Amino acid sequence: MTIAVRFSAASCLGSAGEPLLAPLDVELPVGEALVLAGGGMSGKSAALAMCVGGLTPASGRVEVLGVEPSRLSAGPLNDLRRRIGYVPQRGGLLANLDLRANIALPLRFHLGADARATAAGIERVQALLGIEPLPALLPAEATLLMRQVASIARALVLGPELLLVDEPDSGLDGVAAEEIWRLLWRVQSTTGVTILASAANAAAASPLTARALTLVGRSDMAFRLIPGLA
């Protein structure tokens, strides 16, 4: 069994030295899906950030696709990132490009795809997701669901080996949130791509996978409801 992602007692600190993620031990085999669940400040996003070398483990190790991102220099780290599709919370799309241009950007940047190859790539990923062609809207003109779908499409357009998805249902209502998780399940079952996702609620992510790991962090310390108002 090949392991796509391995956290070995990996913990992470913030820029001010505050703990972002308590030591985490988990393995994600190739072709499977795993959801890291937990409230705010539990370290879900930090765990995903360590997988793309955005954060360095304070202790322990993180291995992704056979390498440790934190030990890579800029060139090899970019090569690794090309093999990973990353979907941030609420899209992270470029505001000055329309949805289709956002999806096309990795194709055009990494492969130098021309107009025809770009259109074919967008069509392929839309078919994979089972969605209608996305309209030529700027992200600010699109709904949050459209933005999230476009962001997932952008992450998939190069055919990644690993998909990292950070709370894809953040800000969506119940129906739209379920749609997003079903969409990810469809991608995973069709392509066999390994998916590491995060969610506030493991049950919400059940359409993707039943395999979830709940992280316990500082969410209970973040604030306390005033007794009587709760």
Which residues between 24 and 83 bind other proteins (CB under 8 A)? Answer: 49, 52-54, 74, 78-82
Work out the burial of residue 49: count CB atoms within 10 Å of its CB; fewer than 13 is exposed, 13-18 middle, 19 or more buried: buried
C-alpha–C-alpha distance, residues 96 and 15, integer Å: 30
Q: How many residues bind other proteins (CB under 8 A)?
A: 28
Candidates 14, 40, 76, 94: give the one binding other proteins (CB under 8 A).
Answer: 94
The owner of tokens 């696709």 is 65
| 216 to 7, 20, 85, 168, 203: CA distances (angstroms) | 16, 11, 26, 20, 16
Q: C-beta of 54: minimal distance to other proteins in Å?
A: 5
Region label for 114, one of left (φ > 0), alpha (ψ between -120 and 50) or beta (otherwise): beta
Q: C-beta of 213: minimal distance to other proteins in Å?
A: 22
Q: Which is nearer to other proteins, 86 or 181 (CB)?
A: 86
Q: C-beta of 147: minimal distance to other proteins in Å?
A: 12
Site membership for other proteins, residue 203 (CB under 8 A): no
Q: Which is nearer to other proteins, 168 or 212 (CB)?
A: 168
Q: C-beta of 174: minimal distance to other proteins in Å?
A: 25
CB-based burial, 12-45: b 16+ in 10 Å, e otherwise? bbeeeeebbbeebebebeeebbbbbbbbebbbbb
Q: C-beta of 45: minimal distance to other proteins in Å?
A: 11
Residues that bind other proteins (CB under 8 A): 49, 52-54, 74, 78-82, 84-86, 88, 92-96, 105-106, 108-110, 112, 114, 154-155
